[in-house]
């Protein structure tokens, strides 16, 4: 059986809206394909080894926990950037999505430093949130993803980062440009809850396949044919 080593980044601090369900779904689908997940939590005051992990999951939390994570994240940002730039597979949801960017401004107006691993930034809204069902279309893969959004942040992507999808229903990253989430190399980010990967199996399998392909290129095509 193929084994993948998976990092749950700050998994003991960040789990808003049950988004750890994304990791459970990845593990479940991997098992159906004959793949074993070995999941490790890497949290405060622990180093992140970019050569060790086949997949990284980075969820979201409340602003209090994310401020704590932001401080610790500065010690890991170089290694996280290296992992991403070398086609490491990563999933960032909501706060994890925001923290991979340059910075985000929380609901209280405080600027929170991100990892700067991806080129975008997030501003806040005053007395407003984007809440409701959302549908997006990923034109690169020809796939439609559904979920539920609930976020105060308004994220604006840089030129080198593609959205995960174009909004067909809902508000998306910022309510202005119809983008939702981010896709850069093998990093997939989104505001979609639900959790995202429970409702969108093609994306779940795509992520697992890429993680297998990076470590076991020959077996990947056999397992997902």
Give residue-wise pLDDT tens across range 138-180.
999 999 999 999 999 999 999 999 999 999 999 999 999 999 9
In terms of pTM, does the model score above 0.85? yes
Query: For strand 130-138 and strand 165-169, is the pairing parallel, antiparallel, or unpaired?
Result: antiparallel
- Judged by DSSP in three states, 180 sits in strand
Annotated catalytic residues are: 94, 193
**Structural domain of residue 94, as residue ranges?**
2-223
**Confidence (pLDDT) at 31:** 95
For 51-100, write each residue's pLDDT tens digit: 999 999 999 988 889 999 999 999 999 999 999 999 999 999 999 999 99
Count how many domains the chain has: 1
**Confidence (pLDDT) at 107:** 87
CATH number of the domain encompassing residue 214: 3.40.50.880
**Confidence (pLDDT) at 95:** 94
CA 63/CA 124 separation, integer angstroms = 12
User: 128: which 2 tokens?
Assistant: 């407003």
**Confidence (pLDDT) at 62:** 86
pLDDT classification of 130: cutoffs 50, 70, 90: very high
**Confidence (pLDDT) at 184:** 98
Residue 191 pLDDT > 90 = yes
Query: pLDDT averaged over the chain?
Result: 95
CA 94/CA 150 separation, integer angstroms = 9
Contact 188, 164 (CB under 8 A): yes
């Amino acid at each position: 059986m193929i084994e993948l080593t998976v990092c749950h980044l700050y998994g003991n601090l960040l789990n808003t809206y049950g988004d750890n369900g994304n990791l459970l779904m990845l593990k479940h689908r991997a098992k159906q394909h004959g793949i074993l997940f070995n999941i490790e939590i890497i949290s405060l005051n622990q180093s992140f080894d970019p050569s060790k992990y086949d997949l990284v999951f980075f969820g979201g939390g409340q602003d209090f926990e994310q401020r704590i994570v932001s401080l610790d994240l500065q010690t890991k940002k170089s290694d996280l950037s290296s992992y991403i730039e070398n086609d490491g597979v990563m999933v960032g949801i909501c706060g994890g999505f925001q923290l991979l960017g340059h910075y985000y401004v929380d609901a209280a107006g405080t600027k929170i430093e991100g990892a700067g691993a991806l080129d975008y930034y997030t501003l806040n809204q005053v007395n407003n949130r984007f809440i409701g069902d959302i549908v997006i279309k990923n034109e690169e893969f020809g796939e439609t993803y559904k979920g539920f959004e609930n976020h105060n942040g308004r994220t604006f992507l840089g030129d080198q980062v593609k959205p995960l999808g174009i909004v067909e229903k809902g508000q998306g990253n910022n309510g202005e440009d119809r983008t939702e989430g981010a896709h850069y190399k093998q990093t997939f980010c989104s505001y979609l809850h639900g959790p995202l990967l429970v409702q969108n199996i093609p994306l779940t399998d795509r992520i697992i396949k890429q993680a297998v392909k990076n470590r076991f290129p020959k077996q990947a095509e056999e397992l997902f044919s």
